[in-house]
Copies of this chain bind each other. A is one copy, B any other.
């Protein structure tokens, strides 16, 4: 819980009093390995702060291939953002790849927080801006780096993901096939 308080304080100046008043809007939710937090086709009702564990965000494209867009680890915020904002069916799946503990808030409660407090309005806008920046960085990385560079980045920035996620998912995150990932690992091990 302290992790979440710190996460909020890093975004906006929020008093302990305000925090105490608003934490009741959040509830704990635990996921077993393989459980879905969001499913494609359904409206994403919740936004979550990850206290423990790892989630994989992916979608299924026209060619019926799964593409992993993101691995989300603890101390981060996650949701199917577009679906959540617009309250429209999600095109993303979000699935726990290990046992995961979340702190979630539903859409209506978040709207209440926005209305009740300028601090929360500020948090909402800042999160939107941050999500934009994260997405821009993602797009930039995906466009500019080779699969090998992306793999090395993952190894550097999220080493646990490499240990926890299956090869299939890592390959789809890098935008290559398993075979190519195998070759990349071979190159690196030399």
Which A residues contact B (CB, under 8 angstroms)? Answer: 59, 61-62, 67, 69, 81-82, 85-86, 121, 124-125, 128-129, 131-133, 135-136, 138-140, 142-144, 175
Q: A125-B124, A125-B125, A125-B128 are in contact. Are A135 and B139 (CB under 8 A)?
A: yes
A144-B82 in contact (CB<8A): no
A-B contacts besides A59-B140, A81-B136, 9 pairs, CB < 8 Å: A67-B143, A67-B144, A69-B140, A82-B133, A82-B136, A125-B128, A131-B132, A132-B132, A143-B175
A86 → chain B, closest Cβ, in Å?
8
Copies per complex of this chain: 2
State in angstroms the CA–CA spacing of A144 and B65 once bound together: 9
